[in-house]
Amino acid sequence: MPDEPPTQSVENTVHGDVHGMVLQVGAVTGDFHHHQHPGPARATLPLRCGLVPPRAAAFQERPVDLDAPVTVLSGLPGVGKSQLAAGHAERLWAAGEVDLLVWVTATSRESIVSSYADVAAKLLGVDDPDPERGARTFLEWLAGTHEPWLVVLDDLRAPADLDGLWPPAGGQVVVTTLRRDAVLRGHQRRLVAVEAFTEDEGIAYLRTALADQPALLDDDGLVRELGGLPVALAQAAANMLDNHLSCAEYRALLPERLDPSAATWSLAVEQAGRLARTGVVLPLLDVASVLDANGIPLAVFTTRAMLDFLGVDEADARDGLGCLHRLSLFTFSEGAVSREVRVHSLVQRATRAAWSDERAGVVVRAAADALAQVWPGVVTDPLLGQVLRANAQALADAGGAHLWRPEGHVLLFLAGRSLGEAGYHADAVRHFDDLQAAATRYLGPDHLDTLLCRFNAAGWRGSGGDAAGAVEGLRDLLTDVTRLFGPDHVETLRVRNNHAHWLGASGDRVGAVTAFRDLFFDQMRVLGPDHPMTLTTRHNLAFAQAKSGNPGRAVKSFETLVRDLERIAGPDDPGALEARSGLAAVLAEAGDLDDAADELEDLLEDQLRVLGADHPRTMSTRWSLAQWRGLTGDPAGAVEEFEELLEHQIRVLGEHHPDLRATREKLEHWRGVSEPGESGRPSPG
């Protein structure tokens, strides 16, 4: 069969309420091929990738040598490790001593891999669908280049996350972490302990921060009072400037019963609350304290869910955010797409320490609702996906049981789906396996959410290449679903649908036809011939017939299905349009390329009218039509259509979207075929 359009035919996504087994294989219309190819154009050096945190207003140089091949900055939160790394990076960049500067938020292995793969896409034009492979491509480039480079791995949580991902020799690496594990020493790695400011350094910091009001620096005991902690001194200075307090006056306000850093934040929050027009400061800080300290999308704080939680409008919410920024409780990163708001982890811990369990539950659920509302149905920006997943993980770590009351929050499932859709299939499987364990603990083994976790784990196991594992997982799940709901329940029928699909994907195509046929007869009896699930199974059965070596039978099945769908729902129904796409695919399978192309032309005209030019299905049909154009003897026409489609995809999806890979590959293929001297009817590239 000729190549199918580059659209994943297996639907394994969340639609609406996830508290039921609603994820199922939809209408199957083609194969999903992964290709590595030239991809987007290479960026030119010098190049910066990742967002370097802004330098503190009163940044102090400190006697820390960062010129070793690998320097690991280790120390407690708040001592300024990231600031030292950022200062070093900006200094080398400004001096032209590095041509590639990469800043990685290294809070998880997935975050590191994703960042490396993103650099490979930008630097080398290698937009690989497998992030792990893209990351290796980047590391291989580092090992072979003579260009000077610096990679900063900020906030490393677990040294094991860097197994196989340490940058090679030849450039500079800086790591910031709380850890002091043995693996962080040796192998040209130098571990540097970063301490709080000395008294002289702290006084120098305050002198710089209070330069516009030098009279406020009347008592050098404040540095000792705050333990020389840079983040505490920064918040103290902001508060002093905003309230015209001297060091002595500020010290007098510090509660004796609190530790120095907590006392500083207590005063900052109190002052921010006085500045705000409404009482939103504490609730905003509460929400930020359960999300990712390395960056929270600003949009989270202005969602409908968040405004309802705060009891204010968007203007008042933004006013509260500004007041928190003025007192150095929040930091806004200019130009940081999706990571606009940062809050120090110590501020987060101090905030959470004051909560009752009841308050924790209210905050966690409000944050989860808001984060779910900013999560797009389709994530086309890899960085946005990474940031959203990091925030979901931070919330899961902080929220614990509160995200399972009264049932699993939709955010837990969105995060797992996002992993799978981004190409991290093994991570998605682990995510849903872990969710299953949590759901079993909180809800019991037979709860719908527990079953849904098993359903998702099996699906992503299959998407990752282990179709046999997917079959086994769904077979076991089918046994339990049948026991709980009965053989005719809609959830049982859905699991059977997916089980049949993965049977075919595992190589048992005859078994898939049999499973789909049995399912169809049961759905006819239970749901009726016109039920959407019955019609979907007819679609999948026809396609399974084509793949099992009976394309003629599949063509007749699709022709009948199209007529029935147009009768039941009308010719413009999405299901009817999808069945026509399936008909074109099996026509091509049967060797009727001319009829397939004619069917696609008619389908495209209707999709443009009904769905619009930007709809994924419309662009998929354009891809297929361009391919069939070449296969039916018109390579020049294929080139023209692939060129137009590529331009359209870049505008709608962005330059690095996975769907562009196959378009670029086919464009280059048909360009080669259409060169002078080439003729005849080519085979697919």
Two structure tokens written together for 522: 């049961």
Helices and strands (DSSP H and E) totals, the chain: 27, 8
User: Rounded CA gap, 390 and 297, in Å?
Assistant: 11
| Contact call for residues 654 and 614 (beta carbons, < 8 A) | no
Alpha helices of 244-301 — where are they, by DSSP H? Answer: 247-253, 260-275, 281-288
Q: Which residue type sits at 464?
A: G
- HSE-CB at 435 with a 13 A cutoff on CA atoms is 33
Give the CA distances from residue 289 to residues 186, 330, 397, in Å, rounded to whole numbers and listed in that order: 36, 11, 11
Choose among 513, 556, 560, 515: nearest CA to 535. Answer: 560
The pairing of beta strand 70-74 with beta strand 331-332: unpaired
What pLDDT was estimated at residue 382? 80
What pLDDT was estimated at residue 126? 64
| Contact call for residues 539 and 547 (beta carbons, < 8 A) | no
What pLDDT was estimated at residue 302? 95
Q: What is the sign of the dihedral through the CA atoms of 167, 171, 176 and 178?
A: positive
Choose among 438, 433, 436, 369: nearest CA to 397. Answer: 438
Mean pLDDT by groups of 10 residues along the chain of 685 residues: 36 32 46 36 84 81 88 89 94 96 94 93 79 92 95 95 95 94 87 91 92 87 88 88 90 74 76 85 95 93 97 94 86 72 86 92 97 90 89 94 95 95 91 97 96 97 95 97 96 96 96 97 96 94 91 93 94 93 90 88 94 92 89 89 91 75 89 63 35
What pLDDT was estimated at residue 177? 93
DSSP string, 2-38: PPPPSS--S-----S--SSS--------S--------
User: Rounded CA gap, 278 and 403, in Å?
Assistant: 28
User: Rounded CA gap, 184 and 577, in Å?
Assistant: 57
Choose among 275, 340, 281: nearest CA to 331. Answer: 340
Burial 265-292 (b: 16+ CB within 10 A, else e): bbbbbebbbebbebebbbbbbbbbbbbb
Q: Which residue has the tokens 């017939």?
A: 545
Give the CA distances from residue 512 to residues 493, 509, 549, 581, in Å, rounded to whole numbers and listed in that order: 15, 5, 12, 21
What pLDDT was estimated at residue 561? 95
What pLDDT was estimated at residue 11? 34
Two structure tokens written together for 354: 């004051």
What pLDDT was estimated at residue 676? 52
What pLDDT was estimated at residue 656? 66
What pLDDT was estimated at residue 511? 96
Give the CA distances from residue 206 to residues 211, 232, 605, in Å, rounded to whole numbers and listed in that order: 8, 11, 68
